[in-house]
Each structure stands twice: as structure tokens, then as C-alpha cells.
Amino acid sequence: MDKQTFTEMLQSKFKIVRTEAGYTQDSMSQTIGLSKKTLVQIEKERILPNWTTCISLCALFRDSEVLTNSFGGDPLELAQVISRGHCVYPNYEGEAVYWEDLDRKNGFRLQYNKSNRIYRVLNSMNQPVHASYIEREIRTYFMRQTDLQPV
């Protein structure tokens, strides 16, 4: 797949991704960093999004089922391969200094980042599955995940 095909596919999915995420045009345009007028033009397929907008959509909505199903996997991974010719997977071993474990249960870990003040939940494979600035939200998510898991 080349940049042109990728961009055209994203253009046709913009509105579906927005509605899948439950965003209004106003909130989507703020999230992506576009004017509402430009977003409307993209959604009506009158203009193609630029490459930066495509990367923003893939990065901010990489959990989108619409994008995952359209591209057969992680849209950001594909964008990186298209743009750079290869994909680099970051090594996060050094980040352990910043994260404090708050709770562990059934293979899940609840963590707090001392530097940027976000909370996250890691699954049993040490992969982040949810993050938030709101402690109550992340603790609720953690409890729901860990209460579902067999002990």
C-alpha cells in the first residue's frame, strides 16, 4: 500500500471512526487539530486529509475497530511502514523509573506515572490496556478487569 491509497482509505473512514468513538464534529476537530470546516470537507470526501492528519487519526484512534479491520491490524504500524519503510517497536525498559505500582491483582497492574501524572493498567503480558488522568476512572477500569479474571 502507498501513501495515496492509505490516505484515501482514511478519508473514507473519518466519519465512521468519529461516530464509533462517540465524538461530535467539534470534539473530533479539536482532538485531531483541524478546523471543523476542514473536518467536514474530509468527511464529505471533498478534500483528502494531509499526511499529518492521517498520522494523528491513526495515533489517537489506533484502538478503532474500524481502522483495525480496514487495514488488517494496527493502523499506526502500517503508517510507519509506509512512511519509513519499516516499523520500529520502542523498548520501554527505561521507563520503569517513572512508573509506580499502586495495585496488583490477577495478573493486572495499576500504575501511576510520577512525571506526567497519568494512571494506566497493564495486563498479564505487561502491555498497557487503558490509561487516564482520572484516578477514579482508572481504578474502576482496574476493578472491572480484575474481577472478571479467575483467581
> What CATH number is attached to the domain comprising 40?
1.10.260.40
The count of structural domains within the chain is 2
DSSP class of residue 54? H
pTM over 0.85, yes/no? no
Quote the Cα angle for 44-17-24, to 5°.
75
- Residue 26: domain span: 3-71
Predicted confidence (pLDDT) per residue in 99-124, tens digit:
999 999 999 999 999 989 999 999 99
d(CA 56, CA 78): 13
In a domain, 88, yes or no: no
pLDDT tens track for 52-98: 999 999 999 998 999 999 999 999 999 999 998 888 777 767 777 88
Among candidate residues 76, 86, 115, the one with its CA nearest the CA of residue 98? 115
